[in-house]
Structure 1
Amino acid sequence: MDQTARRITDDHKLLGRNVMFKCHRKNAEGKAVIFFAHLMRWLFILTLVSFGCSSMALAESRVVKIGVYENSPKVFTDESGRPSGIFVDIIKYIASKEDWELQYVAGTWAEGLERLEKGQIDLMPDVALTAEREKKFSFHKIQVLSSWFQAYARKGSGLQSILDLNGKRVAILDQSVQQEAFTRFSRGFGLDTKLVAVADYKTMFEMVAKGEVDAAVANQFYGSMHARKYDLVDTAIVFEPSALFFAAPKNQSQELLDAIDKHLDFLKKNTKSAYYATLKKWTSEEVRFKLPVWLQILGLITGIVLLMSLGGSVILKYQVNARTRELQKINAEMEGRIIERTAELALAMEKAQSADRLKSAFLATMSHELRTPLNSIIGFTGILLQRLGGPLNDEQDKQLKMVYNSAKHLLSLINDVLDISKIEAEQLNVVSETFSLRETVEKVMVHPVDAYFFC
């Protein structure tokens, strides 16, 4: 009995312990579930906050205000009213890489510079770097383009050299670097020109076409693209080569300028980049490194002259040989037709002499045409040697003098060829002039004349 009672009591105690253990275990499991639920909720909240902040950061792009004016093909507004051109294509490419949002502000050239100086825009394209502008604006280091200015006039105006602009009305872009450069350039030759400041190139070319001004000064990009539209021609008046940049307000937007330099450095090193693609698009030139136009024209003319001279000689030789064979055949067959053969020979000789005179006349004309590009070379290098385009170092001065002297020598040779052709064409006028015998002798002697004759 007692043993049975103790066994029952022990069983009840063991059952009680099991019940208490299960209760504690359930409580612990419940607390763990609650803790894990709180932990997951906080992790979810933190994830949402982090994602929201990242989305806001990604959504906030840098707004960059760009000035736009009319100077096709470098920068202009197309028919649909959208900004376009070389500078616009380049800044669009950079903006896509830097996550910039571009806002364009249209206006005239003068308005764009004024807005830039007041800090109303962040960048102004197509700005030539000068000492005066460097005081007002900030520039990046790698140039976007290089250009120069050229005078354009109506066909038949007779304007070919800077001296022809004396007393003429010349349209020029208001508040541009060309205004100061042309004033300095014309004064260097002692000219009295009336400058007419105009707001844009389109109006300038229209004024020339209507005869309101005698000539217009524009950059070579705009001139080569639009001169034919207004029936204008380019002259040999070329001056002020310049480098073109994006400009920013003084001591502002340096991070924009640094980004432009970074991408220009990359783009210019790759001839298949977007930079060269936009140059080809707007100028039909794959790369900028090519022979100057005047040198291409000179080479073409020289090649044509040589080919025509060679062809004329071959044809003439063939004709003479043919006539000679005919005369030999006639002489062998019919000795009695000496008079007729003599007449035919005289006719052949007359044709040969006529062909020779035509060749001389042609050579004289072509020699004259070769002078025009040579005079441009001599004039332009002379301007550079006068330091009108800026200071030169010793090496540049030496090289320019070599170009100048070589051009003068070539011009002298062409003049001699022209004189010879005039002699053959019986067109040379002989004029007697006095000269210094002393100076002539000194030019051909190694030692001064005084050492031998004037001691």
Structure 2
Amino acid sequence: MGWWVNEPIINRILKWALPILSALLLANAVGAAETIRIGVHDKPPLVQVADTEHVSGFIIDLMNLIAREEGWQIEYVPCNWDECNQLLVLGEIQMLTPISSSEAKQRRLDYNRESLYVNWGQIVMAGKDAIKSPLDLAGKTVVALSSDPHFADLKELAARFDIQVRFLEVSDYESVLAWVDHGPVDAGLIPRSFDLAGFQQYPLIKSSVIFNPAEIRIALSPLNGQIPNAKRMQRLDYHLTRLKGDRSSQFYQFQEKWFGDSMALEIPEWLLWVLLFLLLLMVMLAVGVLLLRRSVTLKTGEIREMNERFTAFMRNLPGIAYMKSSTGQYLFVNPVWEQTNHLHEADVIGRQSTEIWPERDLDVREEEEIRVLEEGRPVESTEVHPWDERPSHWRMIRFPITGLQGDEVIVGGIGLDVTDQKETARELTHLHHQLQLLLESAGDGICGLNGLGRCTFANSAALEMLGYRKDELIGSKFHDLVQHTREGNQPYPEKDSALYAACRNGKRGREEGLFWHAEGAALAVEYSAYPIANGELPGAVVIFRRQREERTEN
């Protein structure tokens, strides 16, 4: 009954159960700092990916500085170029960098307007500057990195001007330098950001031939939403403009750090040995102090305190929690589990589920617990418990708890009652359906606009009167499509419209005027604009119909 007082088991519980339980509760907490996942691909020195957990570089330092000032929590996701683009499209990362503005525009991605860095392709060679223009590459062999975006531009440039160049592809920039230095090729291609001074063993020089200038930006996932993207781009551009406007800012310090002269003052070898000795001495002293502090009494007290905290945490957890052995016997249940299942802890410890509830179909639960043990990873599911008077829905997470090597792996499970959320979602779906029926049955045209004046919904009557398909109207500026011109072919400024006053200023308005059909015909309409709350920008609903005179004529 008191199995968890044993220290190895407590260590296993604390090592695995507490982080997972805490993560589940914190995921639903309100007011936590905004976490932004940024996909980064290896592009030194803009971004250097040492491994999946360590990234550095000019852009990394810059983003960390902006994140501290904005209160963002940054999670970098290293990936190759194709993987990063796929993750951005799927919304699994919110931002992607480095990416050129032309590449982001080609992929129709949102991106910030202030450049982080301007990069370009550059030709390097050994000896004197014999290559002064792209035409001098005729008949020569050029080596380049296969994944370098400037490589594709160089090949296109050679084909456009019929310059006969032999190209050789390698997998890294050091190989480019080695091939040029050792003579088998005439020239190599590197980006402007590449630190040539860091490879003194290859005495190469940069030619005057540069091409394909590209402004480095930050792309944002289209699944973030237009308003969140607009806010983040505004904050990014604000900080970049401010930092670049101050020559003493950290922006230029980072530039000097990553792109400055790498020929720093050499430290004498004897001084390095002295510093290494002092460092080792400090480490030994620190280890000695830690060993002295970790006495048996303190360790026992820490374990007791952690055990008490874990017990208090489990008893106050707003969901059910349990632990089972690898053979399916219950080892622990918390008070919420007891209340939910109408059983006392003493009635279940040491027994299997089939012994406690022989009449219930529990195959799915047991299969998930077996998966946890076999795969060694958490399994999440939503379950329906139909056994009470009122069926309940539970969000369950089952996970393995491992201890020292050779110890038995046990299964932990936690669950939150999501019945109310399910019912609320069902009611909202019903209300949404009723609203759609109401909008579609209305004889007047009804359109919704966000704070930027873009159409967010339109009923069938509006589409029929204006002659647009839904995919043509939704997401487009309503004024630019429908209300751009007054009678007499005079331009109609957006700020003069009642729609603008409703969207931006929160003022109701009613007017008679012209709306323009998709085929170019003018429609005489009378319309009303009503503001609606939508965060910082209110938005509006516009209801319109043809003027009585036009309806009479028709």
**Shorter-normalised TM-score: what interval?**
0.3 to 0.5
* Larger proportion of strand: 2
Name which structure has the greater RCO, CA cutoff 8 Å, separation 6+. 1
User: Normalising by the residue count of structure 2, what TM-score does the alignment of the two structures yield?
Assistant: 0.37
